[in-house]
Amino acid sequence: MKRKTKQLLLGIIIILVSIVVIYFNVKVREANFKTLWPAIILIVGMILYILYFTLKRKKNRLILLFLATFLAISTVPLFVLLLTGFDNIKYLWPGFGFALGMSILSIYFYGKKKKYVLTISVLIISLSLLVWILFALKSEYGLIIGVSLLIIGAAFLTRGLIKEPEEIAVQISETVGESSRENPPEADQ
């Protein structure tokens, strides 16, 4: 079995197991269409992924990837809405914009890597995340989001301040090189 096929199957198995785990942890009593319809959308997305990666014909394949990515990522807010109640749509609707941006980004990675496609996807993803954060800050989770953003910002700041081992080695070699030029070894008489 090819490496890509193994990874594809592993991804599908993990997603199916996660659906089962979510299903039993939420303690849904009846398995019916009302409680499982996002799983059907996710399965359709997975089938489209399989079609994309198994089709030999390259032409017109990217639409499958776009649809598969959009459907798969859109199921996340749908599952959250199903589990928490559809009155939370006021906080979760930017998740669908995020799914759109990620779908366009997948076209960039697997397509011809045109710069404008990357720009559009990054703008849509950034805008949807910004809107989500602004809406979420007004919710009861606003404090948690604020503290989380502070921690993430501090982590990036510290990572920027911490020097990589390669940088330290370069600085040491430059320092040793400068000191040897300033103090040339004296010749023995």
In three-state secondary structure terms, 186 is: coil
> Sign (positive/negative) of CA torsion 106, 110, 111, 116?
positive
Which run of H or E residues covers position 92?
helix 89-92
Q: CB of 48 within 8 A of CB of 36?
A: no
pLDDT at 101: 93
pLDDT attached to residue 4: 64
The DSSP H or E segment spanning 81 is helix 62-84
Q: Which residues of the chain have pLDDT under 50?
A: 189
Q: Distance between terminal CA atoms of the chain? A: 73
Non-local (6+) Cβ contacts of 111 within 8 A are 62, 117
pLDDT at residue 104, as a whole number: 92
